Chain A
Amino acid sequence: MLERYVTAASTYAHSIDHLFILIAVLGGFWLIAAEGMMFGLIFKFRAKDGRPTRYITGEEPHLKRWISIPHYLIIVCDIVIVAAAVTVWYDIKQVMPPADATVRVIGQQWAWSFQEPGPDGVLDTADDIRTVGEMHVVVNTTYHFELLSRDVVHSFAVPAFRLKQDALPGRTITGWFRPNRVGTYDIQCTQMCGIGHALMAGRIIVETQQDHAAWLLRNSNQAVAERAEQQAPPASGADGPTTMAEVRR
């Protein structure tokens, strides 16, 4: 149902969508039943001349049943929903499957920047690739992310992945995702972060292993240095040991 409105591009997108449908079916059933009962009663007992009102206190067992039995059934539905919700939550937020790669996501007023480990697969080494506003990931690969904020509270959200996690200054929050569909998807900030909040957009590019390797190659230190040499004159006070690749093309 959700997929009609928003693409599903991660492994857990469908478990959230299924939970949504479960709640929609159970909640929808009781909503329609209760609204139908209410409008039915309004119609049936509308004021008519000569029809007396019944004196009912609400203590009569044969009438109380009409409330208590549906209510017990609703409690059963509640338990089903809680069980399903906790299961989905546990799989997404409480446990992390083993990582194929680890990336770092940094929020600041008003941009997302990303740090990807580069060819050696280790963060905080010289060959890391840093990007702003654009994140490249490989399809069918489990990523762990480390989420940081440099200033205020942001929230890292990728609707197509059904991923959302606040970024807090002073903490590193970990999480995971596993994209399973090639494409380009939006990254949002969903926590009010100042006047640039609506500008804090990013793109996440899910690509095949080959495409990703080519992207890595294009943005290796060496390739970037060569490109910089061709563009004269080089900017002074450049980006230090790591590169700002693909950023201001």
Chain B
Amino acid sequence: MSTEVQHAEPGFFRKYLWSTDHKIIAMQYLFTGMAMALIGGYFAYVFRMQLGFPNQHVPGYGIVTPGKYNALVTMHGSIMIFWVAMPVLIAAFGNFLIPLMVGCDDMAFPRINRLSYQIFLLSALVLLSSFLVKGGPFGGAWTAYPPLSASGAYNLTPIGATLWLLAVALEFVAFLLGGINFTVTAMNSRAPGMKMYDIPILIWMIILANIVFMASAGPLIAGAVMLLFDQTMSTGFYDPTRGGDPLLWQHLFWFFGHPEVYVVLLPAMGIVAEIIAVFARKKIFGYKTVLYTTWAVGFLSFVVWAHHQFVAGIDPRMANIFSITTLMISIPVTEMVFLYIATLYGGSIHLDTPMLWALAFIAEFMIGGVTGIFLGSSGTDIYLHDTYFLIAHFHYTFVPIAIIAVFAGLTFWYPKMFGRMLNETLGKIHFWGTVIPFNVIFIPLFITGIAGDQRRIYNYAQFAEQSRPWLQHLRTTSTIALLFMLAFQLVFLFNFFWSLRHGKTAGANPWRSTTLEWATLSPPPHGNFAEMPTVYRGPYEYGLAGRADDFLPQNVPDRAVGD
């Protein structure tokens, strides 16, 4: 940015809405993501009410018809993945933290960064606009399998389906722009002295996640263009009567869709690594091993996609290969989780709110991982595929990623973002009020899945085996727990906005942390650092004996330490 612009005090519009400052863009992504999370959560409330109390008037919504139910589950899935997890984990944390943690003044391409957010916002608006069109929003599930998604005659939402597809495509454009920016910044703009193995794990993970995203998005974009042509120009790419093949979409979708799981997992794992190191006052156990496992996960994530398609009509021999690769990917992930647990050994563990969230991530994610083995094993997947067992497993991975790790990151970096501390008591109330109901929501759903409940059914009345009363009790239990979980989010929202003004002043480094973002003011000024930092050591020098303070920031020169 040129010096003239820096000197002129920008107005509200230029400062907050048209900014190229990575911190402002991070806030734009964060607040847009939070707003979309409220929408996605509201949808979950409506369709869970329908499942818990079938065919009754849902307060704040009305009667849920089958068409509306399909639209609600489709939009819940799409929004939570593409418009909550991606913008918050990758874009908000990535934008805010990459320049601060690698020690530079802004992203490598600030204007591309601004464009990225603007396209993202447009994509969200396109998606939401589908609620206003004739036929309503798309209801063919977030996986959008053709021919259902390809033809208005089948899905009855001809305009909504196209808008959904356009919104996803725009969202991808935004994240491709962002991904290039993040990668280039982390490669080229690191502070002097920051070698590859001095980069904080979170930055490594965000970059690897972006590389995985950029490498996997291409096939799906090609698939989406073909689907768009099928929808709007009556081509037949997925129409078997005209030589097309519906399975093609499934391969293209899952070739993206499974790496996508790791695209959001890796930043979450990175956030948790940073927090555990700080609050256990420990170096990450086996920093390099964590990185090797991350690379292995990134690579293997490209060769597991067809485990979503075991019973989809693919050649059954293929299932064996994908069963093996799927269990293979559990090996580096297990290693990574074990390394995190080992980091606790010999530490001095402070259970502040961010640490509670980080530990909850590990505890809950392990349940998600182990239940994944039932689905990755082709034999059991025959039965469990597309049941609520899958739903529960998926949410045991995704809620830790997109909710628990995000709260870990928000509570941890809030002081840096806004210069004030969150209220610790409210933080703990919110933590327990989220984590306990979360388990009460999804443990019953494992059981209903084992009992045969198939997904995306608005009412089980047609199915005698699924109409057994005890199954309905479990569904109702799950719904009530969701109401509790949603209600406790108000505590967070209150804490978040109240603390902006009334929180304790944070100071530059409230958690006594070593990485570069804590070396500047809270919140960091435009340009980030008064004096650009130089890096002298790795990111996790905690637990040093014989010193007044037990940690050594990355930017403190050795001679100042007196070694």
Residues on A close to B: CB < 8 A?
Answer: 2, 5-7, 15-16, 19-20, 23-24, 27-28, 30-31, 34-35, 37-39, 41-42, 45-48, 51-59, 63-64, 66-67, 70-71, 74-75, 78, 81-82, 84-90, 92-94, 109, 151-153, 155, 157, 159-160, 162-171, 173, 184-186, 188-201, 203
Contact = CB atoms under 8 A, between A and B. Distances in A.
Given A56-B345, A186-B463, A93 B319 contact: yes
B534 interface: no
Contact of B543 (A53, A66, A162, A164): A53
Contacts of B104: none
Contact of B367 (A31, A86, A198): A31
Contacts of A63: 285, 342, 345
Nearest to A41: B344
B452 interface: yes
B66 A198 contact: yes
Interface stretch (B29-37, B383-391, B426-434): B383-391
Nearest to A53: B543
A165 B313 CA distance: 7
B457 to A, nearest CB: 4
Contact of B345 (A41, A74, A92, A193): A41
B346 A54 contact: yes
Nearest to B245: A170
A57 B458 contact: no
B462 interface: yes
23 contacts: A5-B451, A6-B450, A24-B374, A41-B344, A45-B344, A54-B346, A55-B283, A56-B283, A56-B345, A57-B283, A57-B285, A58-B286, A67-B339, A71-B338, A81-B327, A88-B380, A90-B320, A152-B147, A153-B145, A192-B148, A194-B70, A195-B70, A197-B456
A39 B366 CA distance: 13
Contacts of A199: 66, 462
Interface in B282-315: 282-287, 289, 310-313
Contacts of B455: 190
B351 A67 contact: no
Interface string B449-486: 01110111111101111100000000000000000000
A82 B324 contact: yes
Contact of B377 (A19, A42, A90, A94): A19
B323 A155 contact: no
Given A23-B373, A67-B285, 19 more contacts: A19-B377, A38-B344, A41-B345, A48-B348, A52-B550, A58-B285, A63-B342, A66-B345, A89-B323, A152-B147, A155-B311, A157-B454, A164-B383, A170-B241, A186-B464, A192-B456, A195-B156, A198-B456, A198-B462
A42 B373 CA distance: 27
Contact of A78 (B327, B362, B450): B327
Interface stretch (B112-120, B165-173, B328-336, B517-525): B328-336
B380 A16 contact: yes
B235 to A, nearest CB: 16
Contact of B240 (A31, A54, A160, A169): A169
A89 B465 contact: no
Contacts of A201: 462-463
Contacts of A157: 386, 454
Contacts of B311: 93, 155, 164-166
Interface string B222-258: 0000000000000000001100011100000000000
Which of A75, A167, A197, A201: most chain B CB closer than 10 A? A197
Contacts of A23: 373-374, 377, 380
B331 A78 contact: yes
A166 B451 CA distance: 20
Contacts of B155: 194
B383 A16 contact: yes
A226 B528 CA distance: 89
B538 to A, nearest CB: 9
A27 B371 CA distance: 8
Contacts of A71: 331, 334-335, 338
A184 B505 CA distance: 68
A42 B359 contact: yes
B148 A153 contact: yes
B139 interface: yes
B154 interface: yes
B465 A159 contact: yes
Given A19-B379, A168-B247, A34 B327 contact: no
B363 A35 contact: yes
Contacts of B378: 85-86, 88-89, 93
A197 B463 CA distance: 12
A23 B281 CA distance: 36
Given A74-B334, A185-B465, A192 B145 contact: yes
A201 to B, nearest CB: 4
Contacts of B246: 153, 168-170
Given A37-B341, A166-B311, A45 B379 contact: no
Nearest to A7: B465
A7 B148 CA distance: 32
A184 B465 CA distance: 10
Contacts of A53: 280-282, 346-348, 542-543, 550
